Structure 1
């Protein structure tokens, strides 16, 4: 089995932002030479998340609005007493820091409307994204 690990660096420009990583991850899969296996996309941060879903601009705004409604940034969260980002920690914990995709025939397997999305919840920041590909 072959393992390839690459790191991406992505800088957000807003407190809440969704950044499409799909083309970068697909390029890493192609360059890896792995034909069949798995691709892990992981963000090692407690206030960002990885999502697999459609990247249509209106829907991207809906995601952010939904996150802000459920994880209210201005709510009296206990964590806000020391750091004003409890909403980001809570949303990141629920959405999750990673997604795993199969690789078949040297290509990332995802649905027609699935993109790999970094969900920035406490920006602007520079985030590391680890892409680990395992297979033959």
Structure 2
């Protein structure tokens, strides 16, 4: 593997609702330029304390199922010690322990090596922060 490192920041507007945003196309577009046919690793990182990166199926209900599971595991109520922001916002700060803020994925011949139904997604339950950054970094 060579020592080529390239990085880019995406600016994503997630809106005022809990969301799972598919970043796969953005990752593929970045790799077309950054990897240029080489093997390596893509790191996807969200530098926010209340969002995460997940690899999952989208479009068949799994993204909604993930949000429903997170609502069950992390209810938006007053049980959280972290209490600033909207009611239940403390749960958003626990989210990265379950959905980590990063993923490192293999790149083979310049292409993201995902399974048939896998997508790279930003998971954001924080309805108070509608603007997110996602850093894509290629090492190859």
TM-score, length of structure 2 as denominator length? 0.90
Verify the 8 A CA contact 2:22 2:120 in the aligned structure 1. yes
CA–CA separation in structure 1 for the residues paired with 2:51 and 2:134: 10
Partner residue of 1:72? 75
Alignment of 1:22-61 (within 5 A): 22-32=24-34, 33=36, 35-61=38-64
Question: Which ranges in structure 1 are unaligned for 5 or more consecutive residues?
Answer: none
What's the RMSD between the two structures over aligned residues? 1.3
Partner residue of 1:129? 134
Alignment of 1:6-25 (within 5 A): 6-25=8-27
CA–CA separation in structure 1 for the residues paired with 2:80 and 2:124: 19
Report the 3-state secondary structure (helix = DSSP H, G, I; strand = E; otherwise coil) of the residue aligned with 1:62: helix
After superposing on structure 2, the runs of 4+ consecutive aligned residues of structure 1 that deviate more than 2 Å are none
Please list the CA deviations of residues 47-80 of structure 1 after superposition, one character each: whole Å capped at 9, or x if unmatched: 0100001012422111111000100111411112
Verify the 8 A CA contact 1:41 1:50 in the aligned structure 2. yes
Considering fraction of residues, name the structure with more helix: 1
Verify the 8 A CA contact 1:34 1:106 in the aligned structure 2. yes
Query: How many residues matched?
Result: 134
